[in-house]
Structure 1
Amino acid sequence: MPNRGALFTFLHRIRWFNLAVLTITPAIGLHGLRSTPLRSYTLAWAAMYYVISMLGYHRLWSHRSYNASRPLQYLLVLMGASAVQGSVYWWARGHRSHHRYTDTPLDPYNAKRGLLYSHIGWMLIKPSVKPGTADISDLKKNEVVQWQHRWYFVIIIVVGYALPAIVAGIIWGDWWGGFYYAGMWRITFVHHSVFSINSLAHYLGETPFDDKKSARDHFVSALLTMGEGYHNFHHQFPMDYRNAVKWYQFDPTKWFIAGCAALRIASHLRVFPQNEVNKAELAMKLKKLRVVQDNIQWPAQAEDLPVVSWESFRKEAQERPLLVVSGFIHDVGDFLDQHPGGRSLIRSHTSKDATAAFCGGVYEHSNAAHNLLSMMRVGVLHGGVEHVDGIAPGERLKIVDKNRSRRRQQAGTY
């Protein structure tokens, strides 16, 4: 009985309609491959209709990233319905929940549950936890959205399945090719391309704007979905009508929206302040550089070195080659035979303040020379003598973790 009960519960959780659409559609397409040759006109029509299907719901109704005129709204609900992925009302509600609760159990396609689940599993199995709440009051009031939701199944029969065959059949006589290739295969490819945004674009790619959440910029997904694959930017700045902000990035949806604005059928295109975009991008670059910085050996700081009087310095320099540059005492013994100018040049400045000579009096040393010399510090001269900037060039732009500094202060380490 327990096994039968578990089986009954599992069967009850299956979304049978979704399972039918996601299996029968490609199965019919496979039959078409065997029975109907693919003609060049039909392939071109299928590709064009694929693009049309991709330019539907997302940026207008999930994120209100621009305003659309009534005619454009009707066009978009028809274009989006051709993808056969649910009505605007259902789809946008789930997507808003995904953004609000990303990577949590309340996320309807939570990437933390695995690649298969986020790609297609969430479509096939009812979740044990309901998706988190999202404000959809605007969708409830929108007449176009409610019209499409009410007539959704009629609309998808027309624009999803019938129209591809009708266009191919009337214009070049390929009724079955239009049905199989521009219909069934197009829908199948649209499904899995869009699903890749929920799956691959949360696993593969770059995080140039934020790595707090799993969303990533993934070029292949962007190529397949008309620009939606720049998912890291999108999750950081969801109200922006763009997904790609670099001139060379592939985002036809952005170009389509901008084109509609030029035709005055779209307006109020929302763009996140560029200063904040730059700030986010810089933060991620600095974070990567911080990893590089933490793997570099840096010179000892003044507070970590002994303070030595001039007399003690002079006495110690009789036993080993020490010299002073910018208030720091350096032991140059290991470098005597490596110095390009020879041992005698360094020897002539040991037990002395060589600041002037090192900083242009004899030769204007390179940044690399300053960096190397700083690694030879063994002490700080009490009171200093001649002083030029004591910060080595390699440290001048060193990234400082304020949280780490604060913790050190609280611990009383300095």
Structure 2
Amino acid sequence: MSSVYPRKTTPPLTKGPAMAKDKVTDDTPADIDIPDNYVAHTLKTQKALPPISWANWYKEINWLSFTILTVTPVIGIIGAMFTKLRWETFLFAVFYYFVTGLGITAGYHRFWAHRSYNASKPLQYFFAMAGAGAVEGSIKWWCRGHRAHHRYTDTDLDPYNAHKGLYWSHIGWMMVKPRRRPGVADVSDLSKSAVVRWQHRNYLTLIITMGFIVPTIIPWLLWGDAMGGYIYAGVLRLCFVHHSTFCVNSLAHWLGEAPFDDKHTPRDHLITALVTIGEGYHNFHHQFPMDYRNAIKWYQYDPTKWFIAACQKVGLASHLKIFPPNEIRKGQLTMQLKKLRATQETLAWPSNNDDLPVINWDSFQEQAQKRPLVLISGFIHDVTDFIDEHPGGPHLLIKMIGKDATTAFFGGVYDHSNAAHNLLAMKRVGILHGGHPHGLEDKAIPPSQRLKIARYNELSSPYGSSTAYSDGEGMAY
């Protein structure tokens, strides 16, 4: 999410023919003429500000943001020490927290920054006023920073790069001057909006009115508690809205799991959702940012989604965008396969066929005189450590030493379980020349490997495990 203060739009690196001939206006996309290697070029050529030290810290503080973010909670805490909290004011403060918070989550974020649905003019003006009450910058300033965050996530062009630490991504990046300008992000579409322009022109008036006057006047007029309204519904409510929003930049990139994609830091977690009015399913959001939802399951906490859906029911919103469910499932499956692969790699597996010696029948007979070797499905198994453990008794194994026990193993005497087949494969020590009997090809692959997770390059590589692709059921990701 964006900061409480405005940022300058980063201009393109170069001006091409179109930019040279035409007058550059607010309607001109900021990224219309950037080179293909913009990110690498910018990181290489754009000089970052020097590290903050004891010698220069006072020069590097962003005093506007620093003052807002430190003085506001001090005023609120001191005011609360001398102002009784009435239950009516408490309930109104909570209500107003959601009003101004939805101005950011449903308005600034999902409507303007990501264009995930269409909002009627009355709803847009509501968002513009409610969002101003959150005192986080105008729509245009806010969306410019947020779009840069999505485009350059976890890089030095991301205004609140999570790799710089929890404190930095939560509030530190606003306390000091940006170490480098955020990457270019286009907001020319917002410049065409009459509502955005109206809010931008009147922003100072709106933040004073919606941030402090309205939450003071309403408790004063309805139950005579102007001071309580100012302290609790105004100042302290503002602190909660600020840090609720900031948690989307920090907590949502630190706490939870990545069920859709693990390329970047965003995570999904209920706790983050609870403190951010539903913005806590952040891994989903970064993977599918144009979706109006953060939570896709009905029981997941996402009041912003519910509010947008309710607005659709009464005709205030329309064209709610939903990413194709088939593609969402692909993302989930990819992560599930990665987890399975990680588990798979912790397990011991049978020797690769290519690593086993190939011996003829006579050699098999000769070696079986020295140690208990049994032939099953064309593989020679050493059952030394299992004779005394065999559930059916050692005599059943002893009588098959030096013989082909394939029929007996697969139902002739007992139709062994998948677990028995898996365990048997771990005892392979060789392959009989000529392979397994015709019609038993599927018995050559233990059940645990028939759905073994294989990367696409392993499926075609001559150096991969033969069992990963010989069965034809291997999954790749």
* TM-score w.r.t. length of structure 2: 0.82
Q: Map 1:254-265; keep pairs closer than 5 Å.
A: 254-265=305-316
Q: Does 1:15 align with 2:15?
A: no
* Matched position secondary structure for 2:374: strand
Aligned to 1:252: 303
Unaligned runs of 5+ in 1: none
* TM-score w.r.t. length of structure 1: 0.94
Aligned to 2:212: 161
Superposition deviation, residue 44 in structure 1: 0.7
Q: Map 1:191-202; keep pairs closer than 5 Å.
A: 191-202=242-253
Aligned to 1:172: 223
- Separation (CA, whole Å) in 2 of partners of 1:34 and 1:302: 76
Q: Does 1:304 align with 2:355?
A: yes
Any idea what the Cα deviations from partners look like across 1:162-210, whole Å, max 9, x if unmatched?
1111111111111111110011110001111111111121122111111
| % identity of equivalent residues | 58
- Given that 1:355 and 1:388 are in contact with CA atoms closer than 8 Å, whether structure 2 keeps it comes out as no
* Matched position secondary structure for 1:55: helix
Q: Does 1:88 align with 2:139?
A: yes
Q: CA RMSD in A?
A: 1.9
- Given that 1:66 and 1:267 are in contact with CA atoms closer than 8 Å, whether structure 2 keeps it comes out as yes
> Residue 103 of structure 1 is aligned with which of 146, 154, 165?
154
Distance 1:187 1:407, change over 3 A: farther
> Residue 43 of structure 1 is aligned with which of 84, 90, 94?
90
Q: Does 1:274 align with 2:328?
A: no
- Separation (CA, whole Å) in 2 of partners of 1:248 and 1:144: 34
* Matched position secondary structure for 1:65: coil
Q: Map 1:2-81; keep pairs closer than 5 Å.
A: 10-56=57-103, 57-81=108-132
Aligned to 1:360: 411
Aligned to 2:38: none
Number of residue pairs aligned between Structure 1 and Structure 2: 407
Superposition deviation, residue 218 in structure 1: 2.7
Counterpart of 1:33, as a letter, is A
Distance 1:192 1:385, change over 3 A: closer
- Given that 1:201 and 1:231 are in contact with CA atoms closer than 8 Å, whether structure 2 keeps it comes out as yes
- Separation (CA, whole Å) in 2 of partners of 1:405 and 1:357: 33
Distance 1:127 1:385, change over 3 A: closer
Q: Does 1:372 align with 2:423?
A: yes
- Given that 2:379 and 2:436 are in contact with CA atoms closer than 8 Å, whether structure 1 keeps it comes out as no
- Given that 1:227 and 1:243 are in contact with CA atoms closer than 8 Å, whether structure 2 keeps it comes out as yes
- Separation (CA, whole Å) in 2 of partners of 1:79 and 1:103: 30
Superposition deviation, residue 7 in structure 1: 8.0
* Matched position secondary structure for 2:429: strand
> Residue 400 of structure 1 is aligned with which of 454, 466, 474?
454
Superposition deviation, residue 244 in structure 1: 0.8
- Given that 2:96 and 2:233 are in contact with CA atoms closer than 8 Å, whether structure 1 keeps it comes out as yes
- Separation (CA, whole Å) in 1 of partners of 2:353 and 2:463: 17
Q: Which moved more, 1:114-123 or 1:335-344?
A: 114-123
> Residue 347 of structure 1 is aligned with which of 386, 389, 398?
398
- Separation (CA, whole Å) in 1 of partners of 2:164 and 2:294: 25
- Separation (CA, whole Å) in 2 of partners of 1:218 and 1:190: 19
